[in-house]
Amino acid sequence: MSFQFPALPYAYDALEPYIDAKTMEVHYSRHHRTYFDKFISAIQGTPLAEQSFEAIFSRVSELNPAVRNHGGGFYNHNLYWICMSPNGGGQPGGLLAEAIRCHFGSFDDFQAAFSEAAATHFGSGFIWLSVVDGRLEISTTGNQDNPLMDVVEKRGTPILALDVWEHAYYLSYQNKRPEYIDAWWHVVDWEQVEQNYLETLQQ
C-alpha cells in the first residue's frame, strides 16, 4: 500500500486567530481521517493500491464512486493542509510571483479573482490554482473533485487548494464564507505553493 495518512504539519491552534483549533481538530482528525480510511477500504487488494493519485484520477470516471469521493477528499485535504502555515500570508516571490503577474496582471488581481471564485462557488467544494498547459488557472470543483480528475472541465496540476465546505469554517464564521476567505489569505504558505509550482515545471 503506497498511501499513508500524513501528520498535520502544525498544531491545531497554530493558525489562530484565522482558523480556530477546534475546527482544525475536527476537520483533520475526523473528516480527513474518514476520507483516508474509506479510500483505503475502496482500493485495498486492488492494483489501485500501488498506483499514484495522478494515475487513479486520470481514469476516475471508470472507477468505484468511493474512489472518486474519498480519494478526492484525501488528496484535496493533503494539499489544503500543506499550503497553510502559521508563518504564512503576504505575497509570493520568485518564479511563482512572476507567473502570477504574467497570467493575472498583478497579485492583487489574482487574489481578487480567486476570492471571487471562492465566494460565489455554489455549495461544497474546492477552489484551485493549477498549472494548465503551462499557464496558471483558477478553477472550482464540487464536492471532492479536483483538477487531476478526468471528470472535470479544466484539468491540470493543482498547486494551491482552498476548502469551502462548511465544516472548514462554520464554527468561527458560520455562513460568512467571504470572511473565512479573507482570513485564509493570512495563512497561505507561499513558499510551499512556489515549491509545488516549481515541481510542475520539472515534469
Cell numbers describing residue 78: 493533503
**Whether pLDDT at 1 is above 60:** no
Cell numbers describing residue 62: 471508470
DSSP run (H or E) holding 67: none
Whole-model pTM?
Answer: 0.96
- 188: helix, coil or strand? strand
The pLDDT confidence band at residue 203, using thresholds 50, 70 and 90, is: confident
String of DSSP letters for 88-154 = --S---HHHHHHHHHHHSSHHHHHHHHHHHHHH--SSEEEEEEEETTEEEEEEEETT--TTSTTSSS
Q: Where are the domains of the chain?
A: 19-203
Please give the class, per CATH, of domain 19-203.
Answer: alpha beta
- At 136 the pLDDT is 98
Q: Which residues, at least 6 apart from 153, have a Cβ–Cβ distance to it below 8 Å?
A: 139
**What are the pLDDT digits (tens) for 74-112?**
999 999 999 999 999 999 999 999 999 999 999 999 999
Sheet containing 157-163, strands listed edge to edge, beginning at the edge strand earlier in sequence: 135-142, 125-132, 157-163
**What are the pLDDT digits (tens) for 3-48?**
999 999 999 999 999 999 999 999 999 999 999 999 999 999 999 9
